[in-house]
């Protein structure tokens, strides 16, 4: 689904030199590379504070911990997402309240949020799925009306621009807190695990900086219960180089998406990803909706031709066994259930060549025509 080897070859001299620089200084934890990356990411995102951490799941957990929520407090979030989003809610003793998604954008449907708000609701966690920002203007309006926190799960959409009525802003910098993952396959990925949290709130930033470092306000003085979650210097060094390329990477992914869009536009039963007017889609994934086409059969057919494809996600969170005790299996999410039976993601990355795209597309067209 991604070609990290070829991508690395194009930036190899810079990456090798940066890694050697860390090895030669032996400043592996919280070294100057981490501090520099933090500042550069703050500038890129247009936020006051970036707090690097060990991975994207930690980022979500630390963000929730910083809000001071109590066991039993409710957090509204979509079920159609990677499990980390919802897992951390339950891990902290909070209750996930699942809301359905928009059929076109795959993101949480703001029109359905207010009906799920109760006196116990404390936060909303929208997920910018597949690379497109949720409808954050409406979400923030609802949150402000009901005095709720908003934590953006930005793991799949870093670099996306969202068009607010007041001007453009980067995804992850709209809510009270934004979170991301630097897992290697992400649009901005490192060579191991990594993550970060963003905020424009000074008090929240201070709280999260303590939480990531064992709850310390200063060394050996622990003011709150925290954890040990750090981005190491080698990963920060790699991320500094790749951050400079991020907009180029996004442009490359969008060109791949354009090719797919043009090829599939007249093939009955294949619905290409919608691109909302308010969000610049950065295409972490290119996800089709298939109607009247054997999705699992196509997935297997492509595998036979050594063409990777993935189903993100075959089982939504509200149907996972881990949430059985929450009674979530009875949650009525018709769009989510409908999508899980029809979505299929195709390879999309920065190194794709036209002959590869032609082979993928013609193979899909062949399957559809034979099965018609």
- Annotated domain spans of the chain: 4-240, 245-371
Question: Exposed/middle/buried for 222, CB within 10 Å: 0-12, 13-18, 19+?
Answer: middle
For residue 357, CA distances in Å to 43, 88, 117 come to 35, 37, 45
Q: How far is the C-alpha of 148 from the C-alpha of 77, rounded, in Å? A: 13
Q: CATH says 4-240 is which class?
A: alpha beta
d(CA 124, CA 152): 8
What is the model's pLDDT at position 336? Answer: 98
pTM greater than the 0.95 cutoff: yes
Q: How many CA atoms lie within 13 A of 156 on its CB side?
A: 22
pLDDT of residue 353: 96
- pLDDT at position 95: 95
Instruction: Write down the pLDDT at residue 175.
Output: 98
Domain 245-371 has what CATH class?
alpha beta
Neighbours of 163 (CB within 10 A): 16
Q: Which of 157, 198, 152 is nearest to 280 (CA)?
A: 157
Cα(196)–Cα(218) distance, rounded to whole angstroms? 21
Largest distance between two CA atoms of the chain: 68
End-to-end CA distance of the chain: 27
The predicted pLDDT at position 372 comes to: 60
8 Å CB contact between 224 and 210: yes
Tokens of 185: 């396959």
Please count the other Cβ atoms lying within 10 Å of the Cβ belonging to residue 142. Answer: 17
Phi, psi of 57 (to 5 degrees): -65, -45
Which segments in the chain show pLDDT lower than 70? Answer: 372
Distance CA 209, CA 214 (A): 9
Q: What is the pLDDT of residues 107-131, one digit of tens each?
A: 999 999 999 999 999 999 999 999 9
Structure tokens at 262: 């043009």
Query: Would you state the structure tokens that stand for residue 207, as one six-digit string?
Result: 């709280």
């Amino acid at each position: 689904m991604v070609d990290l080897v070829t991508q690395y070859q194009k930036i190899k001299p810079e990456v090798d030199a940066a890694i050697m620089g860390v090895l030669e200084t032996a400043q592996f934890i919280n070294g100057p590379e981490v501090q520099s990356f933090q500042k550069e990411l703050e500038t890129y995102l247009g936020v006051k504070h970036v707090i690097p951490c060990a991975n994207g799941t930690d980022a979500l957990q630390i963000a929730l911990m910083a809000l001071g929520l109590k066991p039993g407090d409710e957090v509204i979030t979509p079920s159609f997402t990677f499990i980390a989003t919802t897992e951390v809610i339950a891990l902290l003793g909070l209750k996930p309240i699942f809301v359905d998604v928009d059929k076109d954008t795959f993101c949480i449907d703001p029109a359905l949020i207010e009906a799920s708000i109760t006196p116990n609701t404390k936060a909303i966690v929208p997920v910018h799925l597949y690379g497109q920002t949720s409808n954050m203007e409406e979400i923030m309006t609802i949150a402000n009306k009901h005095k709720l926190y908003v934590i953006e799960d930005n793991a799949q959409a870093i670099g996306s621009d969202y068009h607010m009525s007041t001007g453009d802003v980067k995804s992850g910098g709209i809510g009270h807190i934004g979170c991301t993952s630097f897992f290697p396959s992400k649009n901005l990925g490192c060579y191991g695990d990594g993550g970060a949290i963003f905020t424009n709130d000074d008090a929240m930033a201070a709280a999260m900086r303590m939480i990531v470092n064992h709850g310390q306000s200063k060394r050996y003085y622990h003011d709150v219960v925290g954890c040990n979650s750090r981005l190491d210097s080698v990963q920060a060094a790699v991320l500094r180089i790749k951050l400079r390329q991020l907009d180029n990477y996004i442009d490359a992914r969008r060109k791949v998406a354009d090719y797919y869009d043009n090829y599939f536009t007249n093939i009955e039963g294949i619905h290409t990803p919608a691109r909302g007017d308010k969000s610049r889609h950065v295409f972490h994934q290119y996800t089709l909706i298939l109607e009247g086409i054997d999705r699992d059969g196509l997935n297997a057919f492509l595998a036979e031709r050594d063409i990777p494809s993935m189903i993100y996600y075959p089982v939504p969170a509200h149907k996972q066994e881990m949430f059985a005790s929450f009674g979530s299996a009875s949650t009525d999410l018709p769009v989510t259930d409908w999508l899980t039976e029809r979505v299929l993601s195709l390879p999309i990355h920065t190194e794709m060549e036209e002959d590869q795209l032609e082979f993928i597309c013609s193979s899909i067209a062949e399957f559809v025509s034979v099965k018609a």
